Amino acid sequence: MIPDPPRRPVPFAAAPAPEMFDPARERRARLLRGLRLVAVALAALAIVGVGAALGLARYGGAYSAHPFAARLALPDVTTVKGDPAERASRLVARLAGVGAREIYIVVDTFHNRLRIYRGKELLREAICSTGSGIRLRDPRDGKEWIFDTPQGELRILRKERNPIWIKPDWAFIEEGYLPPKSGRDRVDDFSLGDYGLYMRDGYIIHGTIFKTLLGKRVTHGCIRLGDEDLKYIYETTPVGARVFLY
């Protein structure tokens, strides 16, 4: 048997020499990246400016009727349901029609700000928390809740000191528990704070034990305030006062 001839080893391809660091080229690359970022930022500002200009042109002189109404041309109105332009127009008209001494509340759910006015005079501005928009489903029957703050015009129907919250089914389901059968197990006398201003459909302006979450959209639809702001709103706002939400 004739043995196979010995195979010659195949050399590995030589690795390319590492690229030498060039400080000048690195500086040029950083400059180009910076210029691109500036260009993107300028383009974004231009888009916002054009949008604001179009909004002001669309609604015309209505914005001069109220110092706060001018904000409605900005992206805040895109957070409302339905046609934002139509809702903004209606809200501007309502704000323009408030009495010179009328006390009312305006809630900006986009920036989480609550403002209370007397006529055109701003009395106080406060950081608040509004609806998270989260959807919760009941695993037993498929019922759903959507935790949104309502939009439009509401009224303060009543006011209470040391309000008591009768927790609904979703409050237990959200925490992973079945709702209790006993009504006594639903009573919560601390979560709403010291004051409550009640509107329709169970929506309340109230306090919170989660102070660090003020300014965020984390509620189940109600409007939460810090202690001092809540006390001022409670003492200043009469029953029947209008609340404008957008």
Q: Which domains does the chain have, with CATH numbers?
A: 29-97 (no CATH), 99-246 (2.40.440.10)
Using the predicted structure, report yes or no on whether residue 213 has a pLDDT greater than 80.
Answer: yes
Point out the least confidently predicted range of 7-11, 52-56, 148-152: 52-56
Which has the higher per-residue pLDDT, 87 or 156? 156
pLDDT at 30: 61
pLDDT at 215: 97
pLDDT at 37: 56
Indicate the DSSP class of residue 60. Answer: G
pLDDT at 27: 60
Structural element, H or E, at residue 90: helix 84-96
Helix (H, G, I), strand (E, B) or coil at 169: helix
- pLDDT tens digit sequence for 161-179: 999 999 999 999 999 999 9
pLDDT at 11: 40
CA distance 129 to 105: 15
Which has the higher per-residue pLDDT, 7 or 214? 214
Average pLDDT over residues 38-65: 42
What values do phi and psi take at 116, rounded to 5?
-115, 135
Tokens of 243: 């609340």
Point out the least confidently predicted range of 22-26, 110-114, 207-211: 22-26
Share of the chain above pLDDT 70, in %: 64
Which has the higher per-residue pLDDT, 147 or 78? 147
| Amino acid (1-letter code) at residue 63 | Y
pLDDT at 66: 45
pLDDT at 39: 56
CA distance 130 to 115: 14
Q: What is the mean pLDDT of the chain?
A: 78
Which has the higher per-residue pLDDT, 53 or 140? 140
Point out the least confidently predicted range of 19-23, 99-103, 189-193, 231-235: 19-23
Q: Quickly list DSSP for 4-32.
A: PPPPPPPPPPPPPPPPPP-HHHHHHHHHH
Cα 227 to chain centroid, rounded = 20
pLDDT at 32: 61
Point out the least confidently predicted range of 2-6, 85-89, 186-190, 225-229: 2-6
Using the predicted structure, report yes or no on whether residue 46 has a pLDDT greater than 60.
Answer: no
pLDDT at 97: 77
